[in-house]
Structure 1
């Protein structure tokens, strides 16, 4: 039978979902080839190096360490076989104004104290909230997120039925019902931004992200997130996966409704099965129109996670009054969110995030210097020009100077920017989105684009636009889901 024979499997793209799928399928005895259009593997989780500085170009947060542990355990490995992991202390810092920042420590008691000092009685509500979040996390991880999204029945069991109201109320309404401090509200609403939607549009069931934040903690792999990419690649190579870079796929070849392989600018790769870990919309343009499951109208109506304007900056001195992960929430989030989700525009006063990994890890910058990554979340498909990028760089650096009480402009050795145009060019990203498809109520689980093509036999999809959703841990899970579906063939 076919499922007892070795299959030739071609995977398009080398992001976390592709790397995950590749290892599971190779372990099962298949011949796996991964084709990457860029010169290095990792998809959006690439790295950038310049003048002795190093930057993670994509993900910089290491959350949900148990997902990584489960992945490696499936291969009789553990993360420490590949990289060193340290829990950050503090986890992160949030600025609300000059000399007004909240530090989130790496243990719950300290976090309860922070809440209580800000709003009397709030720690009681936080404990209740986190109890629910922990329960939801266990439900999500153990029985929901590893499902292929084929049917609503995947979501229905005795536990989820008891929580049904949480799918029809929002994170925002749940948080604001008990917590009145705007600062604390923003801290509790911040983690769901990783899911790519406004807290007011994200079901309260997703409060499990708060447990991922406060309960499981924020970690740093020594050397950065690219060390995690390297770990996944090394595992895959050990299992026999063949990687080919600078191979841009131009066509997924289909004959009589059956996938036959892929064409790149260099070659034809015959395949029994094709998986695309590339942008889902782009992937469907690689097959004839009659074989596409989703129309342009379908994609245009979907709620996408934000794009981003990123800056990779080398400073000629060590910075003060900032933490490894620092959030600048000194402007109105609701106004910025409208500019992202409701009436797409460049924000007038954007919130932004900054990562200073060289505070924790001296491999990121030369001695006495600082590596910094700045990120402004944006609506996808905005006009993107050098002049606009420069305007926003000046804007956020001026704000940061005032908030952290230090001069910065004169200490910039270099900066590189990355925005909508780059996401489109490097990743064929639909409208230049950075994080995939938002996890709103009507874009959850079985309501997301399907893992398996209904029109082309043996064509599959994985990554941020299908199940379970945006982020590194969900992408790793997505790779396992698609591998399991293929192993049923």
Structure 2
């Protein structure tokens, strides 16, 4: 008889884990609390507009390819990928922006125009970033975070200094132009920490940005979720929606299943892709590995205030991805990490998928997604949401030289309270736990519970960390650990 696995949640890491475990011969069932699968990567469909609620950036295409190739598949078996050109643009003031195009050669020219002599420095910087990418993404991140020795390889020993310097120091040592500095520091925001707190080694994100480029799956990021759902079902995975978990069943120190909708669902293994902190609240106090104090002391990646806006016309002077860095980043970062509060003048990001993808909006209209990074745990009210929408839309109009407010058909918002309600997210964080030096690899919360046998964790609060590609990898890591652990247990009982 097949061993059984119950998985909590249906985000990227849970779906990835389900595929690997089913392939390894387990009978797998996913339990999702919401009406649709995808976790943070769900969709909002309204009045002919389609929005990705969560992730909108498709970076590191090689990680997706590696995932699907593990099942003798390709992303193109499920969805169509388009490389964006331009990848994105960055506004620094009124009609004042830099466009990042789709090849390193074009990007170096843009840098040279901005700061003579910077193109040569950029090539050197990206060459080092590529070396880090080859070490990190092709090797290190596929370690389960069990031991510090995972980080010690001949390749990392040569780069040991990069774990003790920071992205901010490295970038500012080479580049003097403030606008170029902001562009080079931007990718590490995906890791959830300030550039001044992010080890230099993470410059591999700059290679992901400039070296590999930015892509868009036709019909949006949700197509990746649907692809993984199709693959999971092909492998025999069962998925139950509208199935919130009330308790993890533990008997004699072993996870034995899940209580959902008043019914016990027994299994040999339990894997949680839900928020790690929340998952531990499904256990009695003595079975939790990490105290409330532990979580309070951790550096969490930001939460976000998001708006999904239907415009009654096509917009000008914007690209599919557009960043608005016309205010002081350090002051905004302080309001996220050092002294948590609503920022006075926030940076923001906007995505207009309908520029690339006709499926995102009706003809002649534009779908807009606006995101303001915020500290988790802030007071979240409808009044504050409206106040901040007015702030950014006024700036948006001024910076892009167009009137849009009178062309808004509708706007929906999503913020801290929604992250808590929909995802049981700790303090309403959007991206999990930041990848600072003291929260890297084996220093993150463990994949395998130390207190409950046969209980495992996956997702952005454990290894490797925040983001979609790391979540796919996290699913593989937990499946490998389950399989290894279970085979050892099985051998010991024979």
Q: Do both share a fold (TM > 0.5)?
A: yes
Aligned equivalents of 1:143, 1:358: Cα separation in 2: 36
Task: List alignment gaps of at least 5 residues for structure 2.
Answer: 487-494
1:83-116 Cα shifts (integer Å, max 9, x gaps): 0000000000000001110000001111000100
> For 1:395, what is the secondary structure of its paired residue?
helix
Deviation at 1:268, TM superposition (A): 1.2
Distance 1:272 1:171 in 2: 44
Given the two structures, how large is their TM-score scaled by the length of structure 2?
0.98
Match of 2:347 among 335, 351, 355: 351
Q: Which residue is 1:31 aligned to?
A: 27
Give yes or no for the alignment of 1:456 onto 2:452: yes
String of CA shifts for 1:118-151, please: whole Å, max 9, x gaps: 0011111111110100000000022210100011
The size of the alignment, in residue pairs, is: 485
For residue 208 of structure 1, give the secondary structure of its aligned residue in structure 2.
helix
CA–CA separation in structure 1 for the residues paired with 2:348 and 2:171 = 22
Deviation beyond 6 Å, 4+ runs, structure 1: none
User: What is the CA distance between 1:45 and its match in structure 2?
Assistant: 0.1
1:309 lines up with 2:279 in the alignment: no
CA-based RMSD: 0.6
Separation in 1, partners of 2:262, 2:315: 47
Q: Following TM superposition, by how much is the alpha carbon of 1:166 offset from its aligned partner in structure 2, in angstroms?
A: 0.2
3-state DSSP of counterpart to 1:455: coil
CA contact (8 A) 1:247 1:266 kept: no
Question: What SS does the corresponding residue of 1:44 show, helix, strand or coil?
Answer: helix
Among candidates 362, 369, 387, match of residue 365 of structure 2: 369
**Structure 1 segments unaligned to the other structure (5+ residues):** none
Question: How far, CA to CA, are the matches of 2:204 and 2:340 in structure 1?
Answer: 29
Once the two structures are superposed, the pairs formed by residues 28-427 of structure 1 within 5 Å of their partners are 28-427=24-423
Q: Which segment drifts farther, 435-444 or 155-164?
A: 155-164
Residues of 2 paired with 1:368 and 1:213: CA distance? 31
**Which is worse superposed, 258-267 or 242-251?**
258-267
CA distance in 2 between partners of 1:37 and 1:373 (Å) = 25
Distance 2:415 2:164 in 1: 34
Q: Distance in 1 between matches of 2:213 and 2:298?
A: 32
Q: Distance in 1 between matches of 2:482 and 2:37?
A: 23
Q: Please name the residue that 2:490 is paired with.
A: none
- SS for the counterpart of 2:113 is helix
SS in 2 for 1:413: strand
Post-superposition Cα deviations, 1:314-339, rounded to whole Å, max 9, x if no partner, equal 00000000000000000000000000
- In 2: Cα distance, 1:193 partner to 1:267 partner: 41
Aligned mates of 1:406, 1:100 — CA distance in 2: 14
Question: 1:288, CA displacement in angstroms?
Answer: 1.0
1:160-208 CA deviation, whole Å, 9 max, x = no partner? 0110000000000000001000100000000000000000000000000
